[in-house]
Amino acid sequence: MSLGIDDDQSDRNGAGSDLITGAISVAAILMFVGTGSSVLSKTLRHYLEGAAPADRTLVIALLLNVALILFGWRRHRGLSNEVRIRAAAEERAQMLASRDPLTGFLNRRSLAEEGAAMFVRGQKRRKAMAMMIIDLDHFKTVNDMHGHAVGDALLRAAAGEIAGAMPPIALTARLGGDEFACAFLFDPQHPDLIERIAEKLIAQMAQPFEAEGLRLHVSCSVGIARSDFDCQSVDSLMRSADIAMYVAKKSGRNRYAWFDHSMERELQTRNELENGLRTAIPRGEIVPYFEQQIDLQTGKLIGFEVLARWEHPTRGLISPELFIPIAEETGLIADMSLSLMHQAFTAARDWDSSLSLSVNISPVQLRDAWLAQKIIKVLTETRFPASRLEVEITESSLFDNLSLAQSIVGSLKNQGVRLALDDFGTGYSSLAHLRALPFDRIKIDKSFVISLNESADSAAIVNAIVSLGESLNLPITAEGVEDEAIAARLKALGCAKAQGWHYGKPLSVSGARRLLAERRLLVQAPVEPTIESELPVQRPDRMAG
Ligand code: C2E
Ligand code: CA
Ligand code: CA
């Protein structure tokens, strides 16, 4: 194994001097054999029989020979020691290079190598090869909440479970992060064996783990591909199992999915969305829609929540549930969100000054130390008053870097922007989170509100959140109000604001303008030129009322 240029150099130097040492030792031994016996016998005879002494020079040469032989022998011992140490180091380096140090599993590269050999073996023996990609669910949350030491302990424990669930001949690998892979050969007539392994593994992983004195709950999603149906190489087997794992995750986690070719088309669609999104933002295809927010006690319109929509040139309107996660993963969310705000604030310039706007801020955006400045810049450019803006964040925003989130929120609040905690009830719903940031209101997640009158559990949760809000002096907004009965119940509970389809579906810019014109909530816009901005602005055709 090559350990870099310096080692090559020292290797060459070492080999050269070894050769010289060897040659000297051999010459010394030859000389010793040639001269040694005559000098020794002469010297012995000189002492025993008083014969003439051996030639002095020869004696000195002989002693020198002995010294050289001793030197050669020591050097030989030194060298064999060195070789042993070097071999051990090389073995260790090989181990480190092929194994994941945390779990001792193979790493991605060596799985590909050993997997390829297994693939060939399988073909020879008429066996099929199964590849399982295993990804832990919610690992990131555990890591963020409890730190890396706990995260590492959990990964080691998970690796133990995986190794225990697999057949003894299986290759087990950690591909990175919380993603693992296992491969083994099986009888193609009996794929049920693989399902049993996957089921056992999933059941085991759903049990709480004990790590660093904590009880941790994770689960895993597994994607499985088989060589005889799906793929002609280990690479494509891994890719297929990965796609299947992604599908298992998307359909609710804590489950397995076999790969099938329709999944590939779905992935292709996702990739198309991702590529499309890159051009959609500068082209102004991502536009704000406006959902009415109502004061429950008076029934008056008090503002709108801004919701993203993708007006796709060929596919029509695309839901944010489809493209926001992609925008978050690709980092496009930051530009997208600022562009939406720019469009929404510009559109709202001639709306009645009593109307507020609520915008959704993704947890990804709260990792940007300049977020507050960027939002304030958009407010300044569009001359929209900060006091009429509310930002909505979810509890998951508080895990990543709370102190950064606190400083961003602090800057925004200094300007008069208000802060709402969105989707309360779905995540951790922790009092500590409510205290971590200076929230101005709580939004109850729509899943509880929609079922308020049908499910006793939902009613109990809504009740509890309303009383929590009262005791913390935080007004409550309920979203997902779909009918009058829900609105009446919320009003009786003392909920402050409501939004939902009962009041209307989200409206486009022109739809919102039409509604406001009917209600005489449009004012004469000041005819000042707006400051030029690099961000895409509303296209003129959408500005028309
Ligand atoms: P959210 O912030 O919880 O927004 C409320 C969602 O509930 C909206 O879905 C809205 O259309 C829907 N909704 C409102 N009233 C009702 C109702 O009565 N019944 C039902 N069943 N649904 C109702 P939408 O617009 O599809 O947005 C989905 C999610 O996408 C949002 O959930 C938010 O998390 C995200 N999102 C939307 N726009 C943005 C954005 O600009 N930035 C970020 N970061 N996320 C956004
Ligand atoms: Ca929201
Ligand atoms: Ca919400």
Query: Can you name the residues that pair with 356 across neighbouring β-strands?
Result: 303
- Residue 308: per-residue pLDDT: 98
**Protein residue closest via CA to atom 2 of ligand 1:** 360
pLDDT tops 90 at residue 50: no
* Cα separation, 334 vs 328, whole angstroms: 8
- Residue 232: per-residue pLDDT: 81
How many whole angstroms from 374 Cα to the centroid of ligand 3?
Answer: 23
Q: Which has the minimum average pLDDT: 85-89, 317-321, 527-531?
A: 527-531
**Protein residue closest via CA to atom 19 of ligand 1:** 480
108 token code pair = 């991605």
Nearest bound ligand to the CA of residue 291 = 1
At residue 11 the predicted structure's pLDDT band, cuts being 50, 70 and 90, is very low
Which atom from ligand 1 is nearest to the alpha carbon of 361?
A: 44
Nearest bound ligand to the CA of residue 500 = 1
Domain locations along the chain: 2-98, 108-259, 268-534
- Residue 403: per-residue pLDDT: 92
At residue 1 the predicted structure's pLDDT band, cuts being 50, 70 and 90, is very low
pLDDT tops 80 at residue 424: yes
Residue 217 φ/ψ, nearest 5 degrees:
-110, 115
Average pLDDT over residues 407-435: 92
Nearest bound ligand to the CA of residue 317 = 1
Place of tokens 């000098």: 39
* CB 502 within 8 Å of CB 487: yes
Model pLDDT for residues 254-268, shown as the tens digit of each residue: 999 999 999 998 888
- Residue 507: per-residue pLDDT: 98
Residue 98: half-sphere exposure toward Cβ, Cα within 13 Å? 15
* Cα separation, 106 vs 96, whole angstroms: 10
Q: Find out whether the beta carbon of 134 lies less than 6 Å from any atom of ligand 1.
A: no
Residue from 177, 187, 221 nearest 201 by CA: 221
Q: Find out whether the beta carbon of 446 lies less than 6 Å from any atom of ligand 1.
A: yes
* CB 304 within 8 Å of CB 519: no
Which atom from ligand 1 is nearest to the alpha carbon of 499?
A: 15
Of the ranges 264-273, 290-299, 424-433, which is most confident? 290-299
Could you tell me the pTM of the whole model?
A: 0.66
Average pLDDT over residues 394-406: 88
pLDDT tops 80 at residue 478: yes
At residue 165 the predicted structure's pLDDT band, cuts being 50, 70 and 90, is very high
Which atom from ligand 1 is nearest to the alpha carbon of 333?
A: 44
At residue 64 the predicted structure's pLDDT band, cuts being 50, 70 and 90, is confident
**Protein residue closest via CA to atom 4 of ligand 1:** 307
Model pLDDT for residues 506-545, shown as the tens digit of each residue: 999 999 999 999 999 999 765 555 554 444 444 434 433 3
Nearest bound ligand to the CA of residue 480 = 1
Among 340, 358, 360, 502, residue to substitute to test ligand 1 (most atoms within 8 Å of Cβ): 360
Looking at every residue in the chain, the average pLDDT score rounds to: 89
CA diameter of the chain: 139
- Residue 10: per-residue pLDDT: 43
444, containing H or E segment:
strand 441-444
Model pLDDT for residues 124-141, shown as the tens digit of each residue: 999 999 999 999 998 988
- Residue 15: per-residue pLDDT: 54
Q: Find out whether the beta carbon of 363 lies less than 6 Å from any atom of ligand 1.
A: no
At residue 3 the predicted structure's pLDDT band, cuts being 50, 70 and 90, is very low
* CB 342 within 8 Å of CB 536: yes
pLDDT tops 90 at residue 39: no
* CB 453 within 8 Å of CB 490: no
316 burial (CB, 10 Å; 0-12 / 13-18 / 19+) is: exposed
* CB 441 within 8 Å of CB 477: yes
Residue 385: partners with Cβ closer than 8 Å, 6 or more residues away = 353, 379, 416
How many whole angstroms from 536 Cα to the centroid of ligand 2?
Answer: 23
Q: Find out whether the beta carbon of 264 lies less than 6 Å from any atom of ligand 1.
A: no
Q: Find out whether the beta carbon of 479 lies less than 6 Å from any atom of ligand 1.
A: yes
pLDDT tops 90 at residue 49: no
* Cα separation, 431 vs 468, whole angstroms: 9
Average pLDDT over residues 116-122: 95
* Cα separation, 484 vs 284, whole angstroms: 36
Instruction: Give ∠ CA 11-15-16 in degrees, rounded to 5.
Output: 120
- Residue 534: per-residue pLDDT: 47
pLDDT tops 70 at residue 8: no
Q: Which has the minimum average pLDDT: 8-22, 311-325, 358-372?
A: 8-22
Model pLDDT for residues 168-179, shown as the tens digit of each residue: 999 999 999 999
Taking residue 349's Cβ as centre, other Cβ atoms within 10 Å add up to 14
* CB 62 within 8 Å of CB 106: no
Phi-psi label, residue 194: left if phi above 0, alpha if psi -120 to 50, beta otherwise: alpha
Q: Find out whether the beta carbon of 340 lies less than 6 Å from any atom of ligand 1.
A: yes
How many whole angstroms from 442 Cα to the centroid of ligand 3?
Answer: 10
- Residue 533: per-residue pLDDT: 47
446 SS3 class:
helix
Average pLDDT over residues 468-473: 94
Instruction: Return the amino acid letter for 408.
Output: I
Nearest bound ligand to the CA of residue 420 = 2
Tell me 170's DSSP state.
-
Q: Find out whether the beta carbon of 504 lies less than 6 Å from any atom of ligand 1.
A: no
Residue 391: partners with Cβ closer than 8 Å, 6 or more residues away = 358, 359, 360, 361, 375, 412, 417, 418, 419, 420
- Residue 19: per-residue pLDDT: 67
**Protein residue closest via CA to atom 37 of ligand 1:** 307
- Residue 531: per-residue pLDDT: 52
pLDDT tops 50 at residue 29: yes
Model pLDDT for residues 375-386, shown as the tens digit of each residue: 999 999 999 999
Average pLDDT over residues 377-398: 96
CATH number for the domain running over 108-259:
3.30.70.270
373 token code pair = 């400045």
321 burial (CB, 10 Å; 0-12 / 13-18 / 19+) is: exposed
**Protein residue closest via CA to atom 34 of ligand 1:** 360
* CB 444 within 8 Å of CB 500: no
Residue from 254, 285, 278, 250 nearest 266 by CA: 250
Superfamily of domain 268-534: EAL domain (3.20.20.450)
Q: Which has the minimum average pLDDT: 247-251, 256-260, 355-359?
A: 247-251
